[in-house]
Amino acid sequence: MSEMTSRKSSLDRLFPIFALTGTIFSLLIAIGSAVNGFYHLSNGRSDQAALVAWSTMAFAILFLAGIPGAYWSLKALRGKSLPLKKPSTRWAMVLVIIPLGICLGSASIFGFSNPSIFQAIGYVLAITTVVFTVVLILRWIGPPLSPRRVWGHFLIGLYGIPVITLIGELLLFIPSLLLLGTGLMLSSEGQALLELLTNSVYIDPAVLNESMQNLIMEPWVIAVIFVNLAILVPLAEEVIKTMAIWPLLRRKITPAQGFLGGALAGAGVALFEALLISEPGETWFMILIGRSGTTLMHVFTAGITNWGLVGAIQDRKWKRFTLTFLAAVALHGIWNASSLGAGLAGQVILMEPEGPAVAYAAAVACAGSLAMLAMTVLTLVGIPWLARNLVRAESETI
C-alpha cells in the first residue's frame, strides 16, 4: 500500500516550506549557540558553557527532527508514491541511549570535569529518546501511515503548536498581568518589592529573592497562578493541539488515524517543552522523570481530543468530542495544578523548615506527587489500550 501524491494541493506545497523553515531556523540557532558556548568555555566560564551546551543540543535535536519531514514532503511534492507501513522493531535498539544519557548525566559521581555540561548532554539524550520511544510504540500499535503524514503530525507539534500556544497564552495572560499589577500596588508584600526596586541603587540578590518568594507565597498570587496554569493554559493548549489534523478534516480519515495524528503532535509538543522550557541542572534526573510523565500526558490528551474531533466532523458525534475535550483539559489541568502545588510546597518547606506550615506543605507535596504518578500510570496504560481498540474496531468494519 502507498499514498499517491500525483495531485498537488496547497498543503503539499506549504508543508515543505514549513518543514524547511523550522529546520533551517533551528540549525542557525544551534550554530550560534555552539559558538557562544566555545567562547564561554575558552574563558573558563563552565556554568555558562553548560547552559549553552544544553541549548545547543536542544536546537540541534530540533534541526535533526525536521530533516525527515523536509525530505518526505519534498519527495511527495515531486509526485512520488509514499509507502503506508510501520517502523521496524529493530528501532527498539535506540532504548540503549537512555541509560547512556543517565550515565553521562551522572558524570559528577565519577569525578569528571565540568559535570554540569555532562548533565545537560545526558538530559537531552535521555528525554529525546523517551519521546522517540513513545512515538515508535504509537507507530507499532496504531494504523499504518505514510512517512510524510507521520512527520507532518509530529512537526506541527514540534514547530507549529508551541508558537501558536505562546501567542495565545500571552493574550490570555493580559488580564492576569493587570490583576498582578494592581495587587503589587495594594498589597504590603507588593509595595515592599516595588520600593526595593525603585528606591535602591544596589539591590542585594538575596534580599530581592526573599522579597520575590514572599510575594509569590501570597494567597491571591497563588490563586492567579493556579487559574492560569490549571484552567486557562490547558484550555488554550488543548484547543490548539487540534491543529494536528486540521489539514485532513476535509479528507476521509479514520478515528484511529485521528488519535494517532493527535498523539504524534502531542509528542512533538512534549519534546519542544522538554528541550526548551526545562533547564537541567543538579536536579536533572528528577526533571527527566517529570518530563517523561508530561510527555505521556501531552500524547494522551492530544490523541483523545483529535480522535473526538474526527468523529464530530465526519460522523457528527459532537457529544464524544465534548467529552474527550473536557477530559483532556481536566487531565492537563490536574497535572499542572499537581506540579505547581508540589513545587510551591517545596518552597514553603525551604523557607520555613519548622512550624505548622511544614506539615501542610508536606501533605500538599505528597498529594501532588501521587496525583502525577496516578496520571502517569493512567496514560501509560490508556495510550496503547485506546490505540489498539480503535485499530481493532476499524478492522472489524472492513
| pLDDT (mean) for 48-52 | 72
Q: Judge whether 230 and 108 are in contact, CB under 8 Å.
A: no
- 3-state SS, 77-116, equals HCCCCEECECCCHHHHHHHHHHHHHHHHHCHHHHCCCCHH
365 pLDDT exceeds 70?
yes
Query: What pLDDT, in 10s, does the model give residues 207-265?
Result: 666 666 666 777 777 888 888 899 999 999 999 999 999 888 877 889 999 999 999 99
The neighbour count for residue 266, using CB atoms within 10 Å, is 35
DSSP 8: -
Residue 359: pLDDT over 80: no
Q: Give the pLDDT of residue 14.
A: 86
- In the predicted structure, residue 354 carries a pLDDT above the cut 70: no
Instruction: Name the strand (E) or helix (H) holding 381.
Output: helix 356-397
3-state DSSP call for residue 3?
strand
17: Cβ contacts below 8 Å, ≥ 6 apart: none
pLDDT at 193 over 70: no
Question: Measured on CA atoms in the order 98, 99, 100, 102, is the torsion positive or negative?
Answer: positive
Please give the pLDDT value at position 104. Answer: 80
What HEC string does 239-294 produce? HHHHHHHHHHCCCCCCHHHHHHHHHHHHHHHHHHHHHHCCCCCCCHHHHHHHHHHH
The pLDDT of 166-185, averaged and rounded, is: 81
Q: How far apart are CA 6 and CA 382, in angstroms?
A: 38
- Contacts of residue 284, defined as CB under 8 A and 6 or more positions apart, other chains included, come to 105, 119, 120, 122, 123
Which of 118, 23, 13 lies closest to 63 in space, CA to CA? 23
Of 12-21, 116-125, 135-144, 356-365, least confident by mean pLDDT is: 356-365
Q: With contact defined as beta carbons under 8 Å apart, do 292 and 333 qualify?
A: no
What would the pLDDT profile of 125-150 be if each residue is shown by its tens digit?
Answer: 999 999 999 999 999 999 999 899 99
| Domain extent listing, the chain | 2-397
Whether residue 49 has pLDDT greater than 60: yes
Task: Compute the mean pLDDT over every residue in the chain, rounded to the nearest whole number.
Answer: 84
Instruction: Specify which residues 312 forms β-bridges with.
Output: none
Give how far Cα 121 sits from Cα of 48, 95, 96, 171, Å.
14, 16, 15, 34
Look up the pTM and report it. 0.89
How much is the average pLDDT of 361-382? 90
**Residue indicated by cell numbers 505562546:** 166
Give me 315's grid cell.
Answer: 460522523
Q: Can you give the pLDDT at residue 54? A: 82
Q: Which residues pair with 2 in a beta bridge?
A: 83
Question: What pLDDT shows up at residue 25?
Answer: 95
Q: Is 187 left (phi over 0), alpha (psi -120 to 50) or beta?
A: beta
Backbone angles phi, psi at 145, to 5 degrees: -130, 160
How far apart, in whole angstroms, are the C-alpha atoms of residue 332 and residue 91? Answer: 30
How far apart are the C-alpha atoms of 130 and 292, rounded to whole Å? Answer: 7
Contact yes or no for 86/120 (Cβ under 8 A): no
